[in-house]
Amino acid sequence: MKRDRGFVGFYNYHFCWCFLLLFLNSLQAAPDTVFNVKVFGAKGDSITLDTDAINATIKAAVKAGGGTIYFPAGTYLSYSIRLQSHIAIYLDQGATVLAATPSEKVGYDAPEAANNDTFQDFGHSHWHNSLIWGENLEDISILGPGIIHGKGLSRGGPYRAPIGNKAIALKLCRNVTLKDFTILYGGHFGILATGVDNLTIDNLKIDTNRDGIDIDCCKNVRVSNCSVNSPWDDGICLKSSFALGYARPTENVTITNCSVSGFDRGTFYNGTYQRNEANLVPDKEGPTGRIKFGTESNGGFKNISISNCVFEYCRGLALETVDGGLLEDVTISNITMRDIINSPIFLRLGGRMRAPEGTPVGVLRRINISNINVFNADSRFATLISGIPGHAVEDVRLSNISIWYRPLDAESKENIQQEVPEFEKEYPEPQKFGVIPAYGVFIRHAKSMELNNVNLYLLGKETRPALILDDVEGIKFRNVTAAKGSNPTLIEMKNVSRLSIKDSESLKDIELKQVKNKQF
């Protein structure tokens, strides 16, 4: 059946006309939802304090039912910017929000009364003393290619008013998007999100002087396409503190297509990638810059996926629960690392117990780590997996992993531990254990472990064995290869049960029910 051409032409004409009317109406409506900070008095000249103008712009948008706070090109000197629900901040290309330097009486909002500040550091317990902050909000965004520069923020104490120490701080918010902007020198925290649900962080560049991104007690989080350079603290850090006054897990998190590094402050952003400030790190243990779970870990971590990430000139991957939380159901895959300055993989179940009295020791279990390539890793601390007596790390699978370890320096050779301390109540960091007596893998207080297609290589001379197992119940080696140094022993074992080795170079196939003390 043929359609009438006149009817089709009439239909198309009216369809296009209606579409044009809708488009014109949308253009007319746009100014009602976009609020330019300069219209409300902001100068953007890097000299005039624009705090009041910016907050007035936000109030006007809230009164109108919500909208976009638009920052055109310029440098906006400011103290605390107070977010509200249904607000998007848009930083245009060439726009910088610059954290002002406080005086004795004028500066950032005072830190609010804490729900609890007993079991975590001060910085985790307060949000209002920040450049940009929001509490109990919904549907908020910070967007655009501009810059948030924390020049006037503190990266440490004292924490009294009117000092600010965070670039962005969010508490008990939901439906939050942070996308496309850059943070330079973000203070003690570039981003601190606590109790935030449905959080998207995408395509950020962060070159900062302490923590890059802290995700604390949050649920349903997506971090993607971010580059975080943080030589003096952690890059992307999952936490589950007691700052809300109760234990709340961080759960349902994906981190993908990100890079972390520890180059000197500011040299990632300017493209020079310098390595001269290693001794300036607060703990004096070299650049940090890693992806980490913990240290604060009251509420635990559940259902986490990390994939397609790059580590360069920083510490390795760290999964820690030391304050009573459950750390479980984690999958990590497709990671490449280069120039790692401590353990490339660090799994720690400890008993520090910064938690309410009576809290039991936590659990670390059901961890899958696969497709990892590490070049020039620090052999002082090996790949370190450790529980504590009576509390084993459980169900860990290491698969398709290749690690090239550099040799010890002269000082480290003189300090190889004969007995590795338990260190169960202290801060969890690989360096605290001293130089490990194995160069490749050290596993203690663990059960149900598997190493599949794991390859350990040497970049120089080595006197230690490749692997040490201590108090391990149930461990399988499948296609495990390890370079041998001058020490004829590849594996040392103490109190190991249900050992199975198959298809592994330089190691005979073997099944043993119980090993008190043995070397291979």
pTM for this prediction: 0.92
pLDDT above 50: residue 517: yes
Q: How far apart are CA 405 and CA 384, in angstroms?
A: 14
CB 248 within 8 A of CB 216: no
Among 153-162, 187-196, 456-465, the minimum mean pLDDT is found in 153-162
What is the three-class DSSP state of 458?
strand
Pairing of strands 95-99, 467-478: unpaired
319-344 mean pLDDT:
98
Using an 8 Å Cβ cutoff, are 217 and 200 in contact? no
pLDDT at 156: 78
Report the percentage of the chain scoring pLDDT > 70.
94
What digits encode the pLDDT tens for the residues 31-64? Answer: 689 999 999 999 999 999 999 999 999 999 999 9
Burial (0-12, 13-18, 19+ Cβ within 10 Å), 474: middle
pLDDT exceeds 60 at position 14: no
Residues 6+ apart with CB under 8 A from 246: none
**Both tokens of residue 27?**
């253009």
DSSP 296-341: EESS-EEEEEEEEEEEEEE--EEEEE-SS-EEEEEEEEEEEEEEES
Answer for the pair 352, 324: CB distance below 8 angstroms, yes or no: no
pLDDT bin (cut points 50, 70, 90) of residue 11 is very low
DSSP state, residue 162? T
Cα of first residue to Cα of last residue in the chain, in angstroms, is 84
Identify the CA nearest to 312 among candidates 280, 283, 344: 344
Q: What is d(CA 485, CA 487) in angstroms, rounded to the nearest whole number?
A: 5
Residue 123 is predicted with a pLDDT of 87
Q: What is the model's pLDDT at position 18?
A: 55
Q: Residues of 338-377 as b/e, b for ≥16 C-beta within 10 angstroms?
A: bbbbbbbbbbbbbbbbbbeeebebbbbbbbbbbbbbbbbb
Q: How far is CA 328 from CA 219, 249, 451, 462, in A?
A: 15, 11, 18, 35
Give the Cα separation of 257 and 308 in Å (integer): 5
- pLDDT at 16 exceeding the cut of 80: no
SS3 of residue 462 by DSSP: coil
Omega prior to 158 cis, within 30 of 0: yes
pLDDT tens for residues 225-260?
Answer: 999 999 999 999 999 999 999 999 999 999 999 999
- Tokens 């201590």 locate to 470
Checking DSSP bridges between strand 510-519 and strand 345-349, what pairing results, if any? Answer: unpaired
Give the contacts of 472 (CB within 8 A, at least 6 positions apart): 443, 444, 445, 446, 447, 449, 493, 495, 496, 497
**H helical segments located in 409-452:** 410-413
CB atoms within 10 A of CB 389: 11
Tell me which CATH code domain 38-519 carries: 2.160.20.10
Q: How far apart are CA 181 and CA 96, in angstroms?
A: 10
Contact by Cβ (8 Å): 124, 75: no
pLDDT at 15 over 50: no
- Mean pLDDT for the stretch of residues 478-503: 94
What's the rounded Cα separation, in Å, for the pair 372 and 380?
19
Domain ranges of the chain: 38-519
Rounded to whole angstroms, the Cα distance separating 78 from 148 reads 11
What's the whole-number mean pLDDT along residues 321-342?
98
Judge whether residue 506 has pLDDT over 90.
Answer: no
Q: In the numeric block, which tokens belong to residue 354?
A: 């910064």
The pLDDT assigned to 122 comes to 87
pLDDT tens, 171-213? Answer: 999 999 999 999 999 999 999 999 999 999 999 999 999 999 9
Mean of all residue pLDDT scores within the chain: 93
